Structure 1
Amino acid sequence: MLKKTIAQLDPYVPETPLADLEAQTGVTKITRLSANENPFGTSPAVQAAIQGFDFSSTRLYPDGDANALRQAVAEQLGVDPQQLLFGCGLDEVIELTARTFLEPGDEVVEPWPTFSEYKLHCQIEGAQVIDVPLAADGSFDAAGLATAVTPRTKLMWLCNPNNPTGTYTPLAEMRQLLRQIPESVLVLIDEAYMEFVTQENGSAVQLLREFSNIVVMRTFSKIYGLAAMRVGYAVIPKNLISAMQAVRLPYNLNSISQVAALAALNDTAFVAQMRQRVATARTQFAGFLDAQQMTYCRSQANFIFFSAPRAADLHQYLLMHGYLLRKGLRPGWLRLTLGSEADNAAIQNLIKAFYQSAR
């Protein structure tokens, strides 16, 4: 009946719709800061592009190769357009990767904690996932990752900046790590949050010419504010792209999403503004946590991962005051998506009030 790998699988649990959560809790308005969404919206150019869309064309199938978007992304990244694989969000790209390369008994190495969908799709294919704990500061344990590789290792997942810690591995350190990994292991570098990096905006795209065994992934869900449009993509080695395209479903990216993503990509001023606003909020919130003597990971993403005494109670307290954070990623820790200036200030006041009331 069921595949053996499915029978005891823990599914990925998506965010509860806010209307449902408000009805469950009785809280009139809840601001979701648990999904790393862009609180500032999306480029006005996206709305204009969608409003200008020819809706009479909806009777036709979309461009199955997303050619206009493909050419624009390739030009921005400086890669061959034929190396690009587009998916319905990075979720589909992750699924396609596992489906294309993994067989029962294969091993996959990943740092832990990291984005849980890597493990989910590896387990569906019957692969064994080897978790290598992160270093104390939330960064990759490069030596541990390299040591975990065996002759059975097929893939390695590296989320950079990492989710949920937000920690960023600079390009030079990434290069050193890749040099320790056999060419027979395909290294998937998920850069969903790379556009938020201000420390050193060095993408692994620059390493594609040096290493033939890496895949670099990006998404329009985060800094571009297009989470609802579901557009993700990966830059694939030329010798592997045809196999992954064969597995990909045809017409997996709808026409409106393609139009929206192209408009968002071209509005570089909006992206720069988002990067600066998030960086300012990130610095300010880190200063608050320092002042409260709370432990956290040094983030280069649009979220902060912090240790909180009585984390479950704090999570519930914030929820009942209208703010949803992410819990359960590591015992005693919470992940906060950086919000508007007003929301960040309100949450900081609530955190102080929670701990003062506990004294």
Structure 2
Amino acid sequence: MKWKSQIQNLKAYQPGKTMDDVKELFNLEKVVKLASNENPFGCSKNVETFLKTNAFSHAIYPDGYAKGLRMKLSEHLSVEPGQLLFGNGSDEVIEIISRALLDGGKSTVMATPTFPQYKHNAIVEGAEIREVPLDSAGRHQLDKMLEEIDDTTSIVWLCSPNNPTGEYIRNGELVSFLDAVPSHVLVVLDEAYYEYVVAEDYYDSLELLKSYPQLMITRTFSKAYGIAGFRVGFGIGNKEVIGKLEPIREPFNNNALAQGAASAAIEDQTFIEECRSHNRKGLQQYYRFCEENDLDYIPSQANFVLINFGVSGDEVFQYLMSKGYIVRSGEALGYSHSVRVTVGSHEQNEEVIGRMKEFLALQKQV
């Protein structure tokens, strides 16, 4: 078979072990997953009510235009319905953008480390990948990213807050960057963790969109909204840009239950505010732990924190998993001595911090 040369050594996404896997592997009764940045508080009761009170014919295709969800979200965001692009998670929105703009003659610019699907899709499309390392504080070096842009560049990817660091781009530096980016380059601003941000100098991307037509924003219902299992993500952009992307979207890519669940979730912004508040308190739990134990960490605007333990992240990961707590090793994230921990409930945070203290105590005995 005549496979694309660029996919010969491409690895499929490897999800972590499931909670059931860990229970069986270590003979545990209880396992807490703090690895995938899901919402520990689940979803709004509005979603649960919707699922209990609505019946669907399984033989009928869902609304391919997602009209109900589209109208509700456009009203919530104060954008026109034609400015929205829906995907099977924001992963698919990223894939659609890449498929539309990248090929063997194009280049794309991104930070490193960052969300890996930007690079993954660029490889599939055969594009040249130009990566700019984050600075020592885990932030995008926008000036150096600008230097990588030329006539071949089609897309620049910005993740803010960035995964895996939790750092964000400040308003002033983003405006300066957008002012300097050539008009032929699409700037994709990935805001998967937007709902968790509390920084006062965070930009208003929807306002910026009015002044910069080459800007594209991506968001998701998988994080703060707590419906990752339904896989609903979306892009917000200039109508002309969305118009070019829509024909690439697979028909019926958001199923009927997903559209309804997302619509119900939008209506409960009180739930989002509560989750944001709990998240800030949870982050403080980890910050205190780090400061008491002289561990470096990156202050986060997301629902996770990257902690440097000074040893292999795999070692910390394996120890915590053996005790029933699944986190993400930094070995696979570009921070080999760190682990990324999703902020859980107050109790979950206290429990995993207790296990981290045990790990540190064992390290001192070695």
Q: State the TM-score, normalizing by the size of structure 2.
A: 0.95
The residue type equivalent to 1:326 in the other structure is R
Of 333, 338, 344 in structure 1, the residue corresponding to residue 338 of structure 2 is 333
Distance 1:91 1:108 in 2: 17
1:253 CA displacement = 0.5
Match of 1:127 in 2: 127
Distance 2:15 2:123 in 1: 18
Matches within 5 A, 1:1-359: 1-55=2-56, 57-200=57-200, 202-310=203-311, 311-327=313-329, 328-329=332-333, 330-359=335-364
> What's the RMSD between the two structures over aligned residues?
1.3
Distance 1:168 1:283 in 2: 18
1:204 CA displacement = 1.2
Distance 2:307 2:132 in 1: 20
The residue type equivalent to 1:185 in the other structure is V
1:54 CA displacement = 2.0
The residue type equivalent to 2:319 in the other structure is Y
Contact 1:278–1:302 (Cα < 8 Å) also in 2: yes
SS of match in other structure, 1:356? helix
1:5 CA displacement = 1.6
Distance 2:69 2:265 in 1: 10
Contact 1:160–1:189 (Cα < 8 Å) also in 2: yes
Distance 1:194 1:240 in 2: 22
Runs of 4+ in 1 over 6 A off after TM superposition: none
Distance 1:231 1:150 in 2: 33
1:150 CA displacement = 1.9
Contact 2:22–2:321 (Cα < 8 Å) also in 1: no
Distance 2:352 2:158 in 1: 31
Q: State the TM-score, normalizing by the size of structure 1.
A: 0.97
Contact 2:22–2:324 (Cα < 8 Å) also in 1: no
Q: State which drifts further: 118-127 or 287-296.
A: 287-296
The residue type equivalent to 1:72 in the other structure is K
Distance 2:10 2:199 in 1: 38
1:20 CA displacement = 2.4
Distance 1:133 1:278 in 2: 28
Percent identity of equivalent pairs: 36
The residue type equivalent to 2:106 in the other structure is D
The residue type equivalent to 2:103 in the other structure is E
1:97 CA displacement = 0.8
Distance 2:307 2:204 in 1: 25
Distance 1:68 1:284 in 2: 40
Q: State which drifts further: 90-99 or 306-315.
A: 306-315
1:286 CA displacement = 1.3
SS of match in other structure, 1:168? coil
1:233 CA displacement = 0.3
